[in-house]
Each structure stands twice: as structure tokens, then as C-alpha cells.
């Protein structure tokens, strides 16, 4: 497993695929980096020489914002939206979908498991009916 900028990239996969394991590098950027470094994207990551790895690392550090810097920037942008009171910031604060999706039926990932309101079950419900 080659190590790039503190991240272990899978060695058994192609260079263009294994570069995607770095936060901020997608399919297009992975191909760009491989082209700039003069490396065949179809080459396996285990077959890279230390010289080629250092070339890739240099390109990533100088030209792209990745990993920690990018994560920090994204979280600062979200924090700024929340502090300004923008609509998107309010949606982030309430942990609701930010990009206009419906919440009536979907959005379970953001909202979490269902919270049933008003339904009383079990012995308490039967005793409440008898008492009432």
C-alpha cells in the first residue's frame, strides 16, 4: 500500500482509481494528476516507483486543496452560513436537507429514525382508557 500525504492508497487498484481515496480527488482530478505526473493511469499503484510517488505528492500539494485543508474550508463555510442566518445555514443547524429536497416523506438519513408522536402503546394505554 503506497502512502501519499499520510493516506494509504490501495495498491492493487489502478493509479487513477486509488488516487480517489484522497479526500478532494475525484475521477477527473485523478486523471489530471496522473497526466501531469506523466504516469499511465492504468498502472497499478503498487508498481509506482518512489520517484513517481513523490511527483504525485508534489503536484497534489502545490496545485490542489485536499484532505485537512479542504475539510476545514468546507466546515468553515457551513459555520459561516449558520452564523449569518442564511436559509442553508438554518437547514444545517436543524439537520434537515439543505438542497431543496422534500421532507414530508423522505429525508430519513438527515432526520434520523422516525419519532412517533401521540401514540401510547401497551399497559399504559389500556389503563388510561379504563380510567377515562
CATH code of the domain covering residue 57: 1.10.8.50
Q: Please compute Rg for the chain using Cα positions.
A: 24
Which residue is listed with cell 474550508?
73
What CA–CA distance (Å, rounded) separates 69 from 24? Answer: 10
pLDDT digits 0-9 by tens, 9-34: 898 999 999 999 999 999 999 999 99
pLDDT digits 0-9 by tens, 39-66: 999 999 898 899 999 999 999 999 999 8
43 lies in a domain? yes
Report how many domains make up the chain: 1
pTM: 0.72
Look at residue 77 and tell me whether its pLDDT is greater than 70. yes
93 lies in a domain? no
Q: Which domain holds residue 29?
A: 3-63
Amino acid at each position: 500500500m503506497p502512502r501519499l500525504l499520510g493516506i494509504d492508497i490501495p495498491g492493487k487498484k489502478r493509479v487513477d482509481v486509488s488516487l480517489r481515496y484522497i479526500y478532494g480527488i475525484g475521477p477527473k482530478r485523478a486523471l489530471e494528476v496522473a497526466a501531469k505526473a506523466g504516469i499511465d493511469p492504468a498502472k497499478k499503484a503498487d508498481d509506482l516507483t518512489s520517484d513517481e510517488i513523490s511527483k504525485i505528492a508534489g503536484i497534489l500539494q502545490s496545485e490542489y486543496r485536499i484532505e485537512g485543508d479542504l475539510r476545514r474550508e468546507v466546515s468553515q463555510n457551513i459555520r459561516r452560513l449558520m452564523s449569518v442566518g442564511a436559509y442553508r445555514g438554518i437547514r444545517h443547524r436543524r439537520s434537515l436537507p439543505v438542497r431543496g429536497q422534500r421532507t414530508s416523506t423522505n429525508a430519513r438519513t438527515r432526520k434520523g429514525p422516525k419519532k412517533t408522536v401521540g401514540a401510547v402503546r401497551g399497559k399504559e394505554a389500556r389503563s388510561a382508557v379504563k380510567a377515562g
